[in-house]
Amino acid sequence: MTADEIHKIGLDEVARLRAEMIAVKEQVGFEGDLQAFFAELRDNKDDERYYYPNTDEGRQGYIDDSTAAIERIKQELPKFFGILPKADLEVKRVEAFREQDGAAQHYNSGTPDGSRPGVYYAHLSDMKAMPKRELEVIAYHEGLPGHHMQISIAQELTGVPTFRTQAGFNAYAEGWGLYTEWLATEFEGTYEDPYSEFGRLGSEIWRAIRLVVDTGLHSKGWTEDQAVAYFQENSAITTAQARSEVRRYMTWPGQATGYKIGMLKIQELRRNAEAELGDKFDIKGFHDTVLGGGSMPLSVLERRVKQWVSDVKAG
């Protein structure tokens, strides 16, 4: 894909997601515009509708609620997946020696034999950087059915060359993580609070903004300040967060585009398979095809899914 194509996709996705965010804003009865709603969510740090207390009780609340969200997902997984990871998943606070205020949550894989669980780590030193609306969507992305599912299944594969159990391809891995944020909308008991749904949309628009900003910086001559301003026009992000993100894209061209491009490709492959197979389409079979070969380039994933569709048609 060209930079112009990716830039256009980003603009279109930002417009679509803004419309969905406005609908949620109206659902909760907020009367100002979207920018005012961003400010409401971003700036009211002491409002316990939006943030946990910056106390040990607040930190434990975040861990407990994240664990509960993941436990709910575990009950839903057999409806959507045939292959399930052997390794368990835990939610933990980042160790004090490496914890940073406001740093991104992340996943650390367990062992291939399942003897050590995967861990979803959260930086909890500053609870005012951990909005409640983002708790669910991040737990699904980093944990289940996101990176823990994808990485554990890859590590546990047999019958493939060993490198395929450990290889990583950015658009596949992060595309899967973002796809599962959306996939979780099909599970029972998810995003029931409209603020959590707004958090999901905020997470997705963040990745759509990346398409615009990355290509803007590297192909269209955008300045850092232009990129920061675009970020803040379209999300509830602080200036410091926006500048940090933009500098990441400046120093790591293209990496940030993998999330949304990967997600869109997986969604496209699913739509095409559903259209071709009709009543024969099986969501478990589709997901097992996507995850059952380990991480791979999107072009190889597309070939693999098309082969699965052909095999199902042939009976």
Residues 215, 216, 218, 221, Cα dihedral to 10°: 150
Q: How confident is the model at residue 214 (pLDDT cuts 50, 70, 90)?
A: very high
Q: Is the pLDDT of residue 236 over 90?
A: yes
Q: How confident is the model at residue 90 (pLDDT cuts 50, 70, 90)?
A: very high
pLDDT at 210: 98
Per residue in 10-62, pLDDT (tens digit) is 999 999 999 999 999 999 999 999 999 999 999 999 999 999 999 999 999 99
Paired strand residues for 131: 51
Per-residue tokens: 136: 């669910």
d(CA 107, CA 68): 17
User: Is 130 within 8 Å of 88 (Cβ atoms)?
Assistant: no
Q: How confident is the model at residue 103 (pLDDT cuts 50, 70, 90)?
A: confident
pLDDT at 102: 87
State what percent of residues in the chain have pLDDT above 70.
100
Task: State the average pLDDT for the chain.
Answer: 96
Phi, psi of 108 (to 5 degrees): -125, 120
Contacts of 169 (CB under 8 A, 6+ apart): 295, 296, 297, 298
d(CA 110, CA 187): 25
Buried b (16+ CB within 10 A) or exposed e, 280-308: eeebebbbbbbbbbbbbebeebbebbeeb
Distances (CA, A) of 93 to 36, 53, 99, 284, 313: 32, 16, 8, 33, 47
Q: How confident is the model at residue 240 (pLDDT cuts 50, 70, 90)?
A: confident
Per residue in 134-168, pLDDT (tens digit) is 999 999 999 999 999 999 999 999 999 999 999 99
Omega into 145 within 30° of 0, i.e. cis? yes
User: Is 109 within 8 Å of 155 (Cβ atoms)?
Assistant: yes
d(CA 73, CA 190): 8
d(CA 247, CA 243): 6
State what percent of residues in the chain have pLDDT above 90.
96
pLDDT at 186: 98
Q: How confident is the model at residue 248 (pLDDT cuts 50, 70, 90)?
A: very high
Residue listed under structure tokens 């707004």:
198
